[in-house]
């Protein structure tokens, strides 16, 4: 039974969505005034984005240490989270059922942020894993229609959320992969054109979504107002990266901006590049050890799956929901030709990480957890800076 569960976890992780949870789907799925289906929101009884903070810190040759960060309560900040490709439904677009896959990815990527914000996450009719695997079977027009359907749900959810919450309450946008692409479009088309709306954005965390900036510039590609974050206390800015363990190949899905208008993302051409902000050293981009935190329970997130495959499930077994693994990685944004990526280099005693499902994806699966501790810390710093400026 355990072996079959691990095989299933690896199969799902190879598709780029993390690990399936073993918990049943809750029948309670709140519906907003606009008919929005919510995966996570503070008034949901069974909310996968709300989790305990207890963490096991593991260091080679030392006994485990358990930590429980103090809850900050309601910090006055919301997070609007859009999850990556996770649905295993056989159709091109998913429905709006809260499935175990959605719960799992929310637990792995968004739940840690509940320490620093109130998390809202809509269910949206995303392009599914089977559609991604068979993408060459679809025409560009069909793929565009899949994206349109998905985006309409995210847009409707954002408008519903915005109408419900205090207009002066700051919000952090969080998205990975397909979720980051949804938020890129939302910022361009819905948020930036309205000054009162864009002023609410504390920051945007857009990982594995190929955010575009001018070469050697921080603003003016995808976004006209939100620059890249270059300090942990900076607000109204964007954190973005694509993680690799080696220079991406020429046909890489991530880290290289397309050169022709038929491709996505836009803008395109030699004057632009894909953005990279080093979460371990925003100001100087110095190579520093990543603040890695992975989900340990109910099943580990992608990095944990890889470590378990190498060393056995006990390597990521922990009595707490979260684990700081003994394995450590040094992060630095690296340019090579037209590639711009966050390079994760193993430190002494730590294994190199495999690209999954192949070299064109790089370390896409671990974009979030490789620096999850840093992301939560940065949001906390931005929150303090915002409140200090508005006293």
Q: pLDDT at position 73, please?
A: 81
Q: pLDDT at position 359, please?
A: 97
Number of domains in the chain: 1
Q: Which residue reads 């394995």 in tokens?
A: 327
- Of the pLDDT bands very low, low, confident and very high (cuts 50, 70, 90), residue 10 is very low
Q: pLDDT at position 269, please?
A: 86
Q: Rounded CA gap, 210 and 320, in Å?
A: 33
Residue 2 CB partners (closer than 8 Å, separation 6+): 313
Strands 201-207 and 212-214: unpaired
Residue 21 CB partners (closer than 8 Å, separation 6+): 48, 100, 101, 103, 104, 107, 298, 299
Angle at 54 (CA atoms; ends 53, 57), nearest 5 degrees: 120
Q: pLDDT at position 108, please?
A: 97
Per residue in 97-123, pLDDT (tens digit) is 999 999 999 999 999 999 999 999 999
- Of the pLDDT bands very low, low, confident and very high (cuts 50, 70, 90), residue 248 is very high
Q: Inform me whether the pLDDT recorded for 18 exceeds 80.
A: no
* Number of other residues whose CB lies within 10 A of the CB of residue 388: 9
Q: Which residue reads 């990095």 in tokens?
A: 303
In the chain, the percentage of residues whose pLDDT exceeds 90 is 80
Strand order in the sheet with 322-324: 65-67, 55-57, 322-324, 294-295
Structure tokens at 329: 């990685």
Of 47-51, 188-192, 274-278, 329-333, the range with the lowest mean pLDDT is 47-51
Per residue in 290-344, pLDDT (tens digit) is 999 999 998 789 999 999 998 889 889 999 999 999 999 999 999 998 999 999 9
Q: Angle at which helices 2-14 and 302-311 pack, to 10 degrees?
A: 130
Q: pLDDT at position 48, please?
A: 96
Q: Rounded CA gap, 221 and 215, in Å?
A: 9
Q: pLDDT at position 299, please?
A: 75
Q: Inform me whether the pLDDT recorded for 7 exceeds 60.
A: no
Q: pLDDT at position 51, please?
A: 79
Q: pLDDT at position 21, please?
A: 35
Q: Inform me whether the pLDDT recorded for 32 exceeds 60.
A: no
Q: pLDDT at position 26, please?
A: 36
Strand order in the sheet with 329-336: 243-244, 339-346, 329-336, 288-289
- Of the pLDDT bands very low, low, confident and very high (cuts 50, 70, 90), residue 265 is low
Q: pLDDT at position 262, please?
A: 59
Average predicted confidence (pLDDT) for the chain: 90
Q: pLDDT at position 20, please?
A: 36
Q: pLDDT at position 35, please?
A: 86
Please state the rounded mean pLDDT for residues 216-229. 95
In the chain, the percentage of residues whose pLDDT exceeds 70 is 89
Q: Rounded CA gap, 92 and 133, in Å?
A: 10
Q: Inform me whether the pLDDT recorded for 356 exceeds 80.
A: yes
Domain containing 131: what range?
A: 2-389
């Amino acid at each position: 039974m355990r072996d079959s569960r691990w095989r299933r976890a690896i199969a799902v992780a190879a598709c780029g969505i993390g690990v399936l949870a073993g918990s049943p789907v809750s029948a309670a799925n709140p519906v907003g005034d606009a008919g929005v289906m919510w995966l996570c929101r503070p008034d949901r009884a069974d909310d996968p984005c709300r989790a305990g903070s207890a963490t096991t810190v593991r260091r080679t040759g030392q006994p485990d240490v358990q930590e429980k960060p103090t809850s900050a309560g309601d910090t006055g900040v919301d997070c609007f989270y859009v999850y990556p490709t996770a649905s295993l439904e056989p159709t091109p677009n998913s429905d709006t059922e809260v499935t175990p896959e959605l719960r799992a990815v929310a637990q792995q990527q968004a739940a840690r942020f509940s320490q620093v914000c109130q998390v809202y996450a809509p269910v949206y009719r995303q392009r599914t894993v089977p559609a991604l695997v068979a993408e060459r079977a679809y025409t560009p027009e069909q793929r565009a229609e899949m994206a349109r359907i998905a985006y309409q749900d995210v847009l409707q959810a954002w408008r519903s959320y915005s109408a419900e919450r205090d207009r002066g309450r700051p919000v952090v946008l969080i998205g990975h992969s397909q979720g980051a692409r949804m938020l890129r479009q939302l910022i361009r088309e819905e948020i930036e054109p309205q000054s009162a709306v864009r002023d609410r954005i504390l920051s945007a965390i857009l990982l594995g979504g190929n955010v575009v900036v001018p070469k050697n510039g921080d603003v003016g590609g995808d976004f006209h107002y939100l620059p890249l974050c270059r300090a942990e206390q900076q607000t109204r800015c964007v954190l973005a990266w694509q993680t690799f363990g080696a220079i991406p190949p020429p046909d890489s899905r991530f880290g290289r901006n397309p050169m022709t208008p038929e491709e996505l993302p836009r803008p395109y051409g030699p004057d632009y590049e894909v953005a990279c902000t080093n979460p371990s050293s925003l100001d100087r981009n110095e190579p520093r050890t990543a603040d890695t935190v992975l989900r340990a329970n109910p099943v580990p997130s992608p990095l944990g799956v890889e470590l378990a495959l190498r060393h056995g499930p006990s390597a990521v077994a922990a009595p707490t929901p979260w684990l700081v693994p003994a394995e450590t990685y040094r992060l630095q944004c690296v340019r090579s030709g037209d590639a711009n990526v966050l390079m994760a280099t193993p430190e002494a005693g730590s294994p190199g990480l495999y690209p999954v499902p192949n070299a064109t994806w790089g370390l896409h699966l671990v974009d979030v957890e490789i620096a999850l501790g840093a992301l939560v810390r940065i949001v906390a710093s931005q929150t303090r800076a915002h409140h200090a400026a508005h006293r």
